[in-house]
Structure 1
Amino acid sequence: MPDEVNVLYIKAKSWLNASPPRTLTIGFALIIAAGVLLLKLPISVREGHDLSWLDAVFTAASATCVTGLVVVDTGTFFSTFGHWVILALIQVGGLGFMTMSTMFAFFMRRRLSLKERLILQEALNQDSLQGIVKLVRKVIFYALTIEAAGSLLYTLRFLFDMNAGKAIYYGIFHGVSIFNNAGFDLFGDYRSLSDYLSDPFVNLLSIVLIFLGSVGFIVLADLVEYPKRRRLMLHSKVVLTVTAFLFIAGAVLILICEYTNENTLDPLNFGDKFLASMLHSISPRSGGVSTVDVSSMRQATQFLIVGLMFVGASPGSTGGGIKTTTFAVMIVAMLAVIRGKEDIVLFRSRLEKDKVYKAITVTIYSLALLIAATMILSVTENHTFMTVLFEATSAFATAGLSMGLTPELTDAGKAIVIVLMFIGRLGPLTLFYAAGSKPGRTLYRHPEGKILIG
C-alpha cells in the first residue's frame, strides 16, 4: 500500500510540475472549478432560481473559455453578484490566467521565473521567449484600454435607454464581454443585441470590438508600431488579409442569402440589412452576438456561418477556431500543389515545412473532433443535423452563436459541449502536448516509400 501511495504521489507531482501545456490545462480547469463554486452560491442567482451543478459547470466553462453559449438566461437568471463572477471569468479566460497572474506580479514588482515565461510563451502561442514579458505588458495595456473605451462608449449609448447606474453596469459588462469575444449579454430572453438591430452606433462599435479582440495582441502591437517602423510582420499581413477577406465575403454572401428572407432581413431597409450582414459576418470570429434570429436564417447562411466559425479568430487572440493563419497556410499549400510548386510562399516569404504540417494537423484534428461530437450529439439530442452541427462548431470555435439548442441540451449533450469549449479555448495541440510531452527530434530516418495519391 505505501508503494502505491508513493507512485500516486510521484505521478501527481509530475503533473503539477509539468510542461507549460499541462500547466495551462490544469490552470484553466482550476479557474472553471472556482467559477463553479462561486456560481453555486445562493447570492449568485436571483430569488426563486436554482442552478444545478452541471449548469454551473457549463456556465463557468462557457465564461472562462469565452464562448457565450448559455443553458440559462444570463440577464434574468443570475444576480448582480453572479454577473460579476461571469465577467471576472470572461476577463481571466480572455486574457489568460497567466497574463492575469503576470499583471499581479508586475504590481508586486516580482520578476518572472523561467517556467512562468515558458508558460506565457505557450499561452500566447509564441515561437521564442525573446520579448515575451514586453509583449505581456502590451497585452495588458491594450486590453484594458480597449475595454475601457468600449465600456465608456456603450455606457454613453445606453444612457438613452436606462438610468445612469444601469447604463454604466451594462456598458462595462458588454464592453468586456464583446472585446473578449465572449458573447454574454444582460438583455434577457436570449435576445443578444436584437434590440439594437437598427442602431448603427451599437452595431459598428460591436464590430470594431470583435475585430480588435479577434486579430490578436501581436497584430495590435504591430499596428501600433507601424507609423514608426513603416512595415508589418508577415504574421500581421496574413491575419489582416484573411480577416478582411472573410469579413467582406461573409457580409456579401449573408446579404445575398438573407436579402429576401422574411424572417430575417427582408422587412429591413437596405442600411439595416447591410449592418446586420456585417455584424453576422464578423461575429463568427468568436464574437457570439447577433441582432437577428440565427435559427430563422436559410440553411445556406447557417452553413456559411459554420464555416466562418470553424476558421475563427487569429493566434494570440481571445477567439477560437483553427485560426486565420492555419486557414491561409492550408489554402496556399493547396494552391502550391495544384501549381506544382515545392515551396509554400506567402507575401514573398517561404514558410517552413513544419508550419504546414502543424496547420494540417490542427485542421484534421479539429474536423475529426467536430465530426465525432456532431455524431454523438445527433444521438443524444432530438434536433436537426444542421442545428447540431452549428452548436458543436460554435462550442469548439468558442463562437457563442446558437440556433436555440443549448438551453434544451440533455445532460449528456451539455457534457459534450463543455468538453468542446474547453478544447477549443486551449487549442488541440496544447491538449495533445498536455497529455504527453512534445516530441523530440528523431535521430534516424526510415527508408523512403511510395504510395499513390488522388
Structure 2
Amino acid sequence: MSAGFGEALTADSGAGPHRPWRGLHHPVRMVVVGFGLGVLVGTAVLALPLSRTGPGGADLLTALFTATSALCVTGLVVVDTATYWSPFGQATILALIQVGGFGIMTLASLLGLLISRRLGLSTRMAAATETKSVGLGDVRRVLLGVARITLTVEAATALVLTVRFATTYRHPLAESVWLGVFHSVSAFNNAGFALFADNLVGFAGDPWVCLPVVGAVIVGGLGFPVVLEVLREHRHARRWSVHTRLTLLMTAVLLVGGTLFMLAAEWTNPHTLGALDPPARVLAGFFQAVMPRTAGFNSVDPGAMNAGTLLASDVLMFIGGGSAGTAGGIKVGTFAVLLLAILAELRGAPDVELFDRRLSPATIRQALAVSLLGVAAVVSATLLIATTSRYSLDQVLYEVVSAFATVGLSTGITDDLAPGHQLVLVVLMFAGRLGPVTFASALVLRESGRLFRRPEGRPLIG
C-alpha cells in the first residue's frame, strides 16, 4: 500500500492527518487489534465461574491460554476441555474457534454487509487483508462465499459425526449433536480441540469419525481462495490460478509423502501404530500425516512417537497449509516458492518459473521474509524454553513449532510448563495466527517509497 492510499484510507475512516491513533485504521493493524480484543474478551468470559465446572473461575493464565488457543485455532490446552470447562465454557471456546477461523475482520465485515448492505472503504480494506482478496471489488463475493463454505462443510461433517456417535457409541441424541457440532467446527477451523480426554485416540480405527474430521480439516486448510476458485471453475481446471494449482499440488505431495513416512516410521512402534490392526494403522498413519500440517487432532499419542517422527512432524507443522485459510505455518505456497528459487539458482536460470509463469522478485522476497521470521520465532522460543526447563530438545521444539504453526499437537508437556513458558506459547500462537509478516507489518503505520535506486553491490555468498 502506498503512503498516499494509506492517508486516503485514514481520511475515509474519519481520522485527522495528525492524530496519533490514525495508525489503528491501517487494515493490517486493525486485524491485529481485532484479534487482541477478541483474546481479551475470551479471557474475561472464560475466567467467569460460570465457565468452569469446579468452584470459582479459572485462573487468569488458564483463561488467557485457552482463549488464545481457541481464537488462534491452535488447540494447545493446559486443562482438559471436557472436564474442566462447563457447557457454557465449552460453548465459549467453540465460539472463539468459529470467530478465529472465520477471521474477526471478515466476520465484522460480513455482519456489516448483512445489516447495512454496504461496506465502507476501511472495512473493505480490512476484509481484503484477512481474506487475501484480489481487489476491493471481490470482498463482497469472498465474504458470502466463505460463509457458505463454512456452514456447508461444518453442517455436513456435524451430521455424519452426530449419526456415528448416536448409533455406534450410544451417546444420547442431544449429546451426540453437541459432540458432532463441536468437533466439526473444530475440524474445519483446524483448531484441534476435542471433548474427549485422549483427543481422538479412542477412534483411531473408526473411518466414520476420522475421515469426516480429516476431510473438514483439509478443506479448511486449503484456504478460502482455493476452495472458491475450485468450486467456481471445477469444470475448467486449466483456468485455475497459479496459486490454486500450486496449493493443490503441494498439498497432495505433502499428504502422500507424510502418510508414507508416518507408516514407515511408526508401523512397528507398539505405542502408536503398532498397537493397531493393519487397516487401522493405515488410517491412523494418514490421519497423523494430515494433522501436523493443519490441525491438532491426534489418533495416537504424539509423546510416544519416535524422535525421527517428531522431527518430520515439526517440518510438516512449520510448512502448514494454504494461504487465507484456517491452517497455520508459513504456508505451502511459501515453501514451494523457496524450493523453486533454490532449483532455479542451481540450474543457473535467470528467473524462477512456475506453470509457465515467472515469479516476481517481490514474491520471492516475501517468501524468504516469512520463512526467516518464522525460523527466528521458533529458534528463539525453543532456546528460551529448552535452557530453562527440564524437557528434551525434541519435546520443546515440537511444542514450540506446534504453537507457532497454530497446530495444537503436543507431547503432553503443555500443562507442566512454567507460567513464563506458557506465556511464550501464547505469544507464539498469536503471532502464528496472524502470520509473521502481518504481525510485523502491523507495527508499521506507514510505508515509504523511494524515487531512486542505489548502485548494485555483490557481496560473496557461501
TM-score class, shorter-chain normalisation, is: over 0.9
Checking the alignment, whether the CA contact within 8 Å between 1:285 and 1:312 is kept in structure 2 is: yes
Cα shift at 1:120: 0.9
1:303 equivalent to 2:311? Answer yes
Q: 1:11/1:86 Cα in 2 relative to 1: closer, same or farther (>3 Å)?
A: farther
Q: 1:194/1:353 Cα in 2 relative to 1: closer, same or farther (>3 Å)?
A: same
Q: Which residue of the partner structure matches residue 239 of structure 1?
A: 247
Which deviates the most, 145-154 or 235-244? 145-154
1:271 equivalent to 2:268? Answer no
Checking the alignment, whether the CA contact within 8 Å between 1:312 and 1:323 is kept in structure 2 is: yes
AA in 2 matched with 1:249: G
Q: Which residue of the partner structure matches residue 6 of structure 1?
A: none
* Residue 179 (structure 1) aligned to one of 174, 188, 197: 188
Q: Secondary structure at the match of 1:435?
A: coil
- Runs of 4+ in structure 1 displaced over 4 angstroms? 9-13
Q: Secondary structure at the match of 1:291?
A: coil
In 2, the alpha carbon distance for the partners of 1:429 and 1:320 equals 13
> Which consecutive unaligned segments of at least 5 residues does structure 2 have?
1-15
Cα shift at 1:16: 6.3
In 2, the alpha carbon distance for the partners of 1:13 and 1:88 equals 33
Give the TM-score of the pair, scaled to structure 1.
0.95
In 1, the alpha carbon distance for the partners of 2:404 and 2:375 equals 10
Q: Which residue of the partner structure matches residue 407 of structure 1?
A: 415
Q: 1:352/1:130 Cα in 2 relative to 1: closer, same or farther (>3 Å)?
A: farther
Checking the alignment, whether the CA contact within 8 Å between 1:219 and 1:236 is kept in structure 2 is: yes
Cα shift at 1:128: 2.9
Q: Which residue of the partner structure matches residue 209 of structure 2?
A: 202
Cα shift at 1:50: 4.5
* Residue 146 (structure 1) aligned to one of 148, 153, 160: 153
Query: What do you get for the CA RMSD once the two structures are aligned?
Result: 1.6
AA in 2 matched with 1:40: A
Corresponding pairs, count: 444
Which deviates the most, 439-448 or 65-74? 439-448
> Which consecutive unaligned segments of at least 5 residues does structure 1 have?
1-8
Fraction of identical pairs, as percent: 37
Q: Secondary structure at the match of 1:187?
A: coil
Cα shift at 1:275: 0.5
Which deviates the most, 348-357 or 266-275? 266-275
1:319 equivalent to 2:334? Answer no
1:452 equivalent to 2:460? Answer yes
Which deviates the most, 243-252 or 148-157? 148-157
Cα shift at 1:406: 0.7
Q: 1:296/1:26 Cα in 2 relative to 1: closer, same or farther (>3 Å)?
A: same
Cα-to-partner distance string for 1:173-198 (whole Å, 9 max, x where unaligned): 0010111000001112xx11011011
Cα shift at 1:348: 1.3
Cα-to-partner distance string for 1:91-133 (whole Å, 9 max, x where unaligned): 0000001221122223313311001111111111335323121
Q: Which residue of the partner structure matches residue 70 of structure 1?
A: 77
Cα shift at 1:229: 4.0
Cα shift at 1:306: 0.3
Q: 1:13/1:153 Cα in 2 relative to 1: closer, same or farther (>3 Å)?
A: farther
In 2, the alpha carbon distance for the partners of 1:49 and 1:162 equals 29
AA in 1 matched with 2:396: V
AA in 2 matched with 1:25: V
In 2, the alpha carbon distance for the partners of 1:84 and 1:300 equals 37
Give the TM-score of the pair, scaled to structure 2.
0.93
Q: Which residue of the partner structure matches residue 217 of structure 1?
A: 224
AA in 1 matched with 2:439: L
In 1, the alpha carbon distance for the partners of 2:459 and 2:20 equals 45
1:288 equivalent to 2:296? Answer yes
Checking the alignment, whether the CA contact within 8 Å between 2:50 and 2:57 is kept in structure 1 is: no
1:51 equivalent to 2:58? Answer yes
Q: Secondary structure at the match of 1:429?
A: helix
Q: Which residue of the partner structure matches residue 3 of structure 2?
A: none
Q: Which residue of the partner structure matches residue 27 of structure 1?
A: 34
